[in-house]
C-alpha cells in the first residue's frame, strides 16, 4: 500500500515524458481542480433542488432576522439625528441685559472648549414662536411686556461634555439659568445600545443554528458518498482532496442563503417605505428608510459564506476521520 501511494505521488510530480512538473503547471492544475470542484458541487446541489432550497431558505431566514434588526437600529439612530447632535443647552440671559453685554456673552459661549455651535434667540423671536406653538396668541397680546428672556442654544461637540458645560456656563455673568434635558437622551442611548447588543446576541445564536444546519446537510452528503470517499483514499487521495468538494458545498449554501436574505431585506424595505414616508410627511420630516446598500450586501455575502464554510469544515472534520479504507 505504501509503495502504491509513493508511486501515485511520484506520478503526480511528473509529466507525460517523465519530467518534473514546473510550479506553473502545478498552479494551473491546482486552479483547474478548484474550478471543476466548485462546478461539480453546484451541479450536485441542483440535482437535489428541494433539499438545497430548504437549506438555503433556512440560512436566509437566519441571516435576515439579525440584519433586519440591525437596520432598524441604524434607522432609529438616523431618525433621532444622532444622540450627540440632539444634546442642546438652553442658556437664558438675565432679564434686562443690554445688547453689547449679550453679544459679549455669546462670544464667551463660543470660546468655551467642547462647544460646536452657539445660536442666539432674541426675546421677540421666542415670544413669536411661543405664540405659534402654544395656541395662546390672542391672550398673549394683552401682556404689558415680553416675559420671555433672551437665550442662546449651545450645541456641545460630545454628549459627555454637556454636564461639564452646564457647570461652566452657570458661572458666567448675565446667565440666569441653563437647562439640559438629559433624561430622554440617556434613555434613547440606552435603547440603542440594548438594540446593538440584541443584534449581536441574535446573530450569534442564529449563526450557531446555521452552522448546525449546514453541518447536518454535509454529514448526509458524506454518508451518501461514503463508498466514493473510501475508493479515493485507497488510491492515495489526501484528506484535503476529499474535503474540498464538501467545503465548496457549504460555501455555496452560505452565499446563496445570503443572496436570498438580501432579497428578503430589499422587499421588506420597499414594503415599509410607503407607510414610513407617509408618517414622516405628517411630521414634516425628510426621513427615508435606509436599506442594506452595496456595502451591507457584500458584508452579508461574506458572513453567509463564512458561516456556511465553518459548518462544512466542522462536519467534514468530524465525519471524515471515521471513514478509513480497509
In this prediction, residues 19-32 reach a mean pLDDT of 71
Q: Which residue, 128, 163, 181, sits at the end of a domain?
A: 181
Q: Is the pLDDT at 164 greater than 60, yes or no? A: yes
**Of 22-26, 93-97, 233-237, which has the strongest mean pLDDT?**
93-97
Residue 20 falls within a domain, yes or no? no
Q: Are strands 175-179 and 115-121 parallel, antiparallel or unpaired?
A: unpaired
Q: Do residues 134 and 237 both lie within one domain?
A: no
Q: What is the CA radius of gyration of the chain?
A: 33
Q: Is the pLDDT at 256 greater than 90, yes or no? A: yes
Q: Do residues 116 and 131 both lie within one domain?
A: yes
Q: Given the C-alpha cell 461637540, which residue does it identify? A: 157
Cα 34 to Cα 159, 222, 326: the distances in Å are 53, 19, 28
pLDDT digits (tens, 9 = 90+) for 145-155: 666 788 888 88
Q: How many CB atoms lie within 10 A of CB 184?
A: 10
- Percent above pLDDT 70 for the chain: 77
pLDDT confidence of residue 24: 74
* Boundaries of domain holding 143: 88-181
Q: Is the pLDDT at 72 greater than 70, yes or no? A: yes
pLDDT confidence of residue 109: 87
- Look at 59 and 235; give whichever has higher pLDDT: 59
pLDDT confidence of residue 316: 85
Q: Do residues 170 and 73 both lie within one domain?
A: no
Q: Do residues 121 and 236 both lie within one domain?
A: no
pLDDT digits (tens, 9 = 90+) for 272-311: 888 877 877 766 666 778 888 888 899 999 999 999 999 9
| Number of domains present in the structure of the chain | 2
Q: Do residues 93 and 167 both lie within one domain?
A: yes
Q: Do residues 95 and 218 both lie within one domain?
A: no
Quick one: which of 243, 102, 107, 226 has its CA closest to 175? 102
Amino acid at each position: 500500500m505504501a509503495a502504491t501511494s509513493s508511486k501515485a505521488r511520484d506520478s503526480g510530480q511528473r509529466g507525460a515524458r517523465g519530467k518534473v512538473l514546473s510550479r506553473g503547471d502545478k498552479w494551473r492544475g491546482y486552479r483547474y481542480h478548484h474550478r471543476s470542484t466548485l462546478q461539480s458541487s453546484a451541479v450536485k446541489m441542483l440535482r437535489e433542488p428541494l433539499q438545497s432550497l430548504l437549506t438555503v431558505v433556512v440560512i436566509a431566514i437566519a441571516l435576515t432576522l439579525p440584519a433586519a434588526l440591525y437596520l432598524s437600529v441604524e434607522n432609529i439612530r438616523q431618525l433621532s439625528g444622532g444622540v450627540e447632535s440632539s444634546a442642546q443647552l438652553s442658556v437664558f440671559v438675565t432679564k434686562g441685559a443690554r445688547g453689547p453685554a449679550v453679544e459679549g456673552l455669546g462670544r464667551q459661549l463660543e470660546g468655551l472648549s467642547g462647544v460646536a455651535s452657539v445660536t442666539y434667540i432674541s426675546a421677540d423671536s421666542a415670544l413669536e414662536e411661543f405664540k405659534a406653538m402654544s395656541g395662546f396668541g390672542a391672550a398673549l397680546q394683552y401682556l404689558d411686556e415680553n416675559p420671555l428672556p433672551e437665550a442662546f442654544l449651545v450645541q456641545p461637540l460630545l454628549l459627555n461634555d454637556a454636564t461639564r458645560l452646564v457647570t461652566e456656563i452657570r458661572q458666567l455673568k448675565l446667565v440666569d439659568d441653563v437647562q439640559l434635558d438629559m433624561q430622554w437622551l440617556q434613555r434613547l442611548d440606552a435603547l440603542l445600545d440594548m438594540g446593538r447588543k440584541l443584534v449581536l446576541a441574535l446573530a450569534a445564536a442564529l449563526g450557531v443554528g446555521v452552522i448546525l444546519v449546514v453541518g447536518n446537510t454535509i454529514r448526509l452528503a458524506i454518508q451518501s458518498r461514503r463508498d466514493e470517499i473510501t475508493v479515493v483514499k485507497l488510491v492515495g487521495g489526501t484528506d484535503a482532496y476529499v474535503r474540498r468538494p464538501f467545503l465548496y458545498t457549504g460555501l455555496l449554501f452560505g452565499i446563496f442563503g445570503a443572496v436570498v436574505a438580501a432579497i428578503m431585506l430589499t422587499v421588506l424595505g420597499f414594503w415599509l417605505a410607503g407607510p414610513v414616508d407617509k408618517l414622516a410627511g405628517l411630521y414634516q420630516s425628510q426621513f427615508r428608510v435606509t436599506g442594506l446598500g452595496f456595502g451591507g450586501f457584500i458584508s452579508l455575502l461574506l458572513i453567509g459564506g463564512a458561516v456556511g464554510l465553518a459548518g462544512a469544515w466542522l462536519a467534514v472534520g468530524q465525519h471524515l476521520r471515521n471513514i478509513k479504507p480497509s
